[in-house]
Structures are given as structure tokens and as C-alpha cells.
Structure 1
């Protein structure tokens, strides 16, 4: 009973804020998705990432171990889902990226924070950064044929991760007044990302829902299973292990839909994956949380 209550306390704020964004759109209120997304991804999330890493008390070696585990996990997920797409005779450009990349930002970071506190957030940032680099290189290359490492380095979230890691490694800290300002801006990120997730889902036009349900279930099993197995091979502490499994197991990211729409893949099919995997996560993620807590 206590475990069930703990899980409810963790996931309820996440899905309530997502429901607020969904209801906001269904009630006909205005929400400038492009502006809010740009504000979060260009300013607020980078500030959150930088301050989380700079002020973390996590041993740098533990972060390095988690980074390697995340790299191997995403590599394994990529290989297995590529085979899955071939077996189902699906379009690689449309289906492979969403099956690999989860919503580690909008959903994963808040879940890690609520479940494991500031330490969990620090770990979650590392997994998020690994996914972001892979997404902006291999993911964009699959969808468009134009992935670029230089483009990755220009992304504010990746730059903030590298800078935060440098400050952590050297033991540096920004002046207190600047840290306070950065923390204040970073505090915008989590509620805004969750509300924006609900808004984005409300505006999607999903297609091929039967196939989406099957693929979403397979993605969940593959991602959680591989992250669990790989995480067990490393000497990760329980929080790092839980964060790895949670982050890799998050549902399809809305950015996968945006990339499909931008580069001419089947955006409606990807929208179907976003919607079905997100709804599936409402039921599945509490179970995953209960297993790793």
C-alpha cells in the first residue's frame, strides 16, 4: 500500500499537468506552441540542466558509468528496433526514430525529479544528453539524410550539458546571484514541458492506430528490457539504475512527430505512435517505477 501511494504521488503531478495542457486546447484557449517550446528548449531547459549538473553531489565516475550504460542501451535499442521495422516491412524514415527516442525531456526529467529528487534529476540529465546527441545525429540522418555533429554542438541543451559537466569536474560554481537567476529560469522548465506535452498530444492527428498500439507495446518492452539488462551489467547505484530504465522506457517524443512533418515522412503515423505510447505510459510507467523504487 505504501509503495502504491508513493508511485501515485510521483506520477500524479506529471499526468495532471499533461491533462491541464490537453484540456486547455480542448476548451479552445490559445497556446503558442512554437514560442513556448522554443523558450523551454533554448533557455529554460538548458538552465535547468546546467544548474543540476553544477550543483550535483554525484561522483563524476558514477555519471561516467551511467553515460556509458546509456550509450550501450540506446545502441542496443537502435539495433533491435531496426530489425523490428524490417520484419514489419515498414518505412525506416517514418518508424525507426520514434521507436528509438523517448520523451526523456518533457516526461523523463520530471519523473526522475519527483521519483528520486535532485540526485535523480542529475542522472536523468546525463541520459537525456546521450539521447539528444544520438537523436540530432543518427535520428535526423535517418529522417532526412542530414545529421550533423556540428548541429548537435549548437543545440543549447547539449552545450549546457557539456558546460555543466565541466563545472562539475572542476568543482566550479557561478556567483550566487547568477546561480539564483539560472535556477529561477530553470524552474520554469518542468511545468511548462508537461503542459506543452498535453497541448501537443491534443493537437495531433493520429493515424494507423492499430499498428501504433502494437509498435508502442513492443517499444515499451524492448526499451525497458534492454535498459534493465544493460543497467544490471554496470555497478550503478539504485537511483542511477532506476533513472536509466525510466528514461530509456519513456514513450515516443513529440519531437519525432515534428521531424517527420518537417522532412516529409508519414507524420500522421508518427502522431499515432506519440498518442498511443503516451496513453500506454499512463498505465505502464507506474509499474516500472514500482519495480525500480
Structure 2
């Protein structure tokens, strides 16, 4: 088994050093993450998706299984979190907001860099595909859940999903690969896409650090236990079951798939509840504060959890 120190220094520490830089920078020099987020969403991440999927070393079998795995993973968590909410008496906006933090993990800003540092090219390629499919679900199903939290009268706001180029980037990459019109890896176009896409990884971590430094969480800390349990126990157990059922031929792909099911709470739900349920409260805590607290706590808890997860996965004891 790879040593804990080696995993921390090679896979975990680089991520949290960059994240910490964003956190501290915003503490001493107020930074508006909006332009950075726009740059990442509309330029950097699409470039990473196109470059990674078109030039991926993953075969068609792995591409299909990762995609089906993400769809199955989110579906299972939706069912489990909904059932748990009903059993514990949650309803309405409270139930919907709980589902958002229990189901959707930070597979992009944290998952892609972690997989890259821990598994290299195959890790990054697997993580990009996982995060792309997962992100599409966040901005469709997640947005629908948020609309219900705010008791919106219609779903016209769903059209905003199609403003983001993430889905189009995935489609363009798959079509180009299927038709066989992908330029060579050393062509000017692909090298440019690669250069731009690689820059998305540190930028995503800096944005996450900035967002965490602005988190209002004090009053909601007591409400983070159950979502943390879901993100780091229920979620990876579902991931392991799906990975075994799908039967990945490449063990590294299987391990990265499981690793990405154990990510802390995604940041996107904060944006959703701020827009659709910002005035609603539960036990005196607003829904944005509830989500923010869970993002903050699960991100901190992820440091030891992900260190252990990488060690166990790389040992081959889990899958």
C-alpha cells in the first residue's frame, strides 16, 4: 500500500495548497469570483473537456460504463436521499435542499485535480468524463430540485442550462471522435486546447478557495452531520456497488470512478438556493447558509477522508 505521507504530498497537498491560496487571497484582497467563474465555465472547462475526451486513452467500453455509472449513481442517491428525507419528516424546501447537498458532489473543481494528481493522465481523462456527465445532471436535475425548493411556478428557467457550453463540448468531442475528425495531438489546435484546458484545474481550485472564504456557516454547523455521512459513506458505497456491477476492465478507471463518488458537497447548490430559496429558513438558518456550511465542513473533512480513500483504492483492497 502506498504510504500515507506519499499520498498526502503527491495527491492531497497540491490541491489544498492552491485552494488555500485562493482562500487567503480573498481574505486579504477581496476578489470577485464571478469573472473567474465565467472564464472557467465558458472557456477553460470546455477546452479541457474537448481535449480530454477527443484524445482520451479510454476505450469505448470504458466511456460507456463511466457514463452509465454516473447516471446510475445520481439516480440511486436521489432515491436514497428522498426516502431518508421522508422517513425523517423532511418536506418541501427543506427536503429539496437536503437532497441537493446529499446527492451532488464536487467532482469538477476538486475531483478532476485529485484524480489528475493521484492517477495521472488516465485519472484526469476519467474524471473529466465523470464530471462532465455529472455537471450536466447538476444543471438540469439539480436545477429542477432547486426550482421546487423555491416553489417556482414554472420551469422556464431551465433554458439557462443551455447557455453553458459544457453539454455542447461533450457532444462536440464525442461526435468528432466518432466521425474520426480529431486533429493529431501535436497539431496547433489540440495543443492550444490542451494548454487552455490544463489551466482550468488550478483556476477551479482558486475559485473554490475564494468561495469557501466567503462562506457563512457558523449557525448551521450542527446541520452538517447527516450530509457529511451521505457524502463520505453512503455515496461511495453506492459507487463501489456500481463499479462492481459495471465490471470496468481497467482497474484505474474503476478506482477513479469510486473516488469521485466520495467528493464533498458541490458548490453549485449554493448558487441555486440563493436564487430560488434565499428567504426560506430551517431552525433559524437560511437555506444558503445550510448549503454553505455543508460545502465548508465536507471540504475540510475530505482532507483525511480522501487521503484514506486514495490509499485504500490504490491498494486494490476495495476494487
TM-score, reference length from structure 1: 0.93
Indicate the residue corresponding to 1:282 in structure 2.
303
CA distance 1:87–1:147, shift in 2 (3 Å): farther
Alignment partner of 1:212 out of 220, 224, 247:
224
Matches within 5 A, 1:180-191: 180-191=191-202
Q: Which residue of 1 aligns with 2:20?
A: 19
**2: CA distance, partners of 1:171 / 1:123:** 21
Instruction: State the Cα RMSD in Å.
Output: 1.8
Structure 2 counterpart of 1:230: 242
Structure having the higher Rg: 2
Greater CA deviation, 187-196 or 83-92?
Answer: 83-92
Q: Distance in 2 between matches of 1:19 and 1:88?
A: 36
Aligned positions, number? 292
- Structure 1 stretch displaced more, 206-215 or 186-195: 206-215
| Residue 134 to residue 205, structure 1, CA distance change in 2 (3 Å) | same
Within 5 Å, give how 1:155-166 maps onto structure 2: 155-166=164-175
Unaligned runs of 5+ in 1: none
Question: Which stretch shifts more, 83-92 or 33-42?
Answer: 83-92
Match of 1:267 in 2: 288
1:61-114 Cα shifts (integer Å, max 9, x gaps): 211012112211111111111122223333123221121111011001111111
Q: Is the 8 A contact 1:94 1:260 kept in 2?
A: yes
Paired position in structure 2 for 1:97 = 100
Q: Please show how residues 1-293 of structure 1 align to structure 2 within 5 Å.
A: 2-8=2-8, 9-26=10-27, 28-90=28-90, 91-145=94-148, 146=155, 151-174=160-183, 176-206=187-217, 207-236=219-248, 237-265=250-278, 266-293=287-314
Q: Which runs of 5+ in 2 are unaligned?
A: 149-154, 279-286, 315-319
Residues of 2 paired with 1:118 and 1:137: CA distance?
A: 29
The structure-2 alpha-carbon separation of the partners of 1:242 and 1:149, relative to structure 1 and needing over 3 Å to count, comes to farther
Alpha-carbon separation, structure 1, partners of 2:199 and 2:131:
18
Does the Cα contact within 8 Å between 2:73 and 2:238 map onto a contact in 1? yes
Bigger CA drift: 29-38 or 151-160? 151-160
Shift of 1:153: 4.5
Return closer, same or farther for 1:130/1:2 CA change in 2, 3 Å cut-off.
Answer: closer
Structure 1 Cα separation of the partners of residues 4 and 228 of structure 2: 25
* TM-score, normalised by the number of residues in structure 2: 0.86
Farther off after superposition, 99-108 or 176-185:
176-185
CA distance in 2, matches of 1:147, 1:133: 17
Residues 32-41 or 214-223, more deviating: 214-223
